[in-house]
Structure 1
């Protein structure tokens, strides 16, 4: 029988199972440690999850095993978890709507961590109290390096992107993807322009400026040695890995907010690899570099 432990998280009771299960075999990192990480990073992470429909990647057998994406809330989701039923155009499962979970609090975050939901992905928009979709409040540029390019090349592109944004009176918050690339989040609250159109125009302009370094088209054959600026992540149907989410790598790396000074100083890919322990240390020392108060200007690093 599966090991079961009843715990109280804030004012909710949860049943957690298989806490000793190793989910990151190379690091010996267990489900209990995954839950502990998400519990401790929650004060920073919840600000980026609140109000956003959740998609998770679950790894019940660990990062070396099979995984699945989950948008529709699990059938056994507790009644106290907030949900929002939203249209699902183009669903591969032939359904008209999806009932998304909304992670607004620590118990909900712990609940999903307990399901071996290692990765949390969210869109650039939120829902209101009635569960209706709101306009995007963030625009994202997803910088994806095509080998042999690395995050070092992404940082060079991000620095030019910062200059382009500044010309339009915009600022951006950089973060690592937790894998090979990075993202730059741009506050978009209250703007009438479609972030999809703006991001596409910026990506195309940057490709024209630096065709040997940047590509704005999705075709993989065009990407080797270049940085793909994926503007399509602003499609309302798409999600991006949430700040502080773990990634399913051999070791528990995480998508980590970074300062522009760190972007400027990145000389090796390892300079911007952060594990769960690294992230907890950074948050303790630096706070959330992508916290809303920081978004009035570019966040500087340590």
Structure 2
């Protein structure tokens, strides 16, 4: 199957490489779209040399810890496996070493960008005759890896008491049929108990300085919709995020969904192998995620 691709599509009125997405489509138009959101600890790397200009918001300052282009091969494989369109967005990142006086970009800004992208996507007319839709008739299947699993959980669970800016529209809630989360970060204090060095490496920069980060955990949030299905996957070989994160999120969703849990949430912590990002090598990740999405889209 030939995959049709288009790169660097703006989803913000401001032309900003951090607010663009790449799109991969099968030859036949489809209303179902898979969205893969990259991880990278919410973090951009800032050059340490003197080339850094005086501006504090210029994209040229930052080299992404991860970028949408890094996942082009994965997106193409998912497109071929599912025969569905795949979108891969960027979003703005927090600098790894904020300078004194910087207006630091922090949570929930990353998730706000993602929410803005998803709201854009459900109305976007698309290339090659994929027509724009309203009323929730476009079907979205969302994949969040690492920190982006936290972002998706913050949007599609009810975080309104902490981050009211992350409220999805009713149309978007209806469009999202399933969310796949791999190697996810969900409970910040639990993560820091396993990896204390993460506080200085990226947590404090991402969320600011706080005595406790429990308010930013997603493992105590209520549901926004009981119709969205969830799939939690984790590799036992992951050395950067431990399996207890995924187990705790699975347990929370299972409790929230109650009588609908059997069909509403599932987990897979046995089939995927490899370290945090090494899971994308080979075909196991594409097969596991793609088969799940294909089953959901056939319903």
> Which structure ranks higher in relative contact order (CA pairs < 8 Å, sequence separation ≥ 6)?
1
TM above 0.5, one fold?
Answer: no
> Which structure shows the bigger proportion of residues in helix conformation?
2
TM-score normalised by L of structure 2:
0.31
TM-score normalised by L of structure 1:
0.31
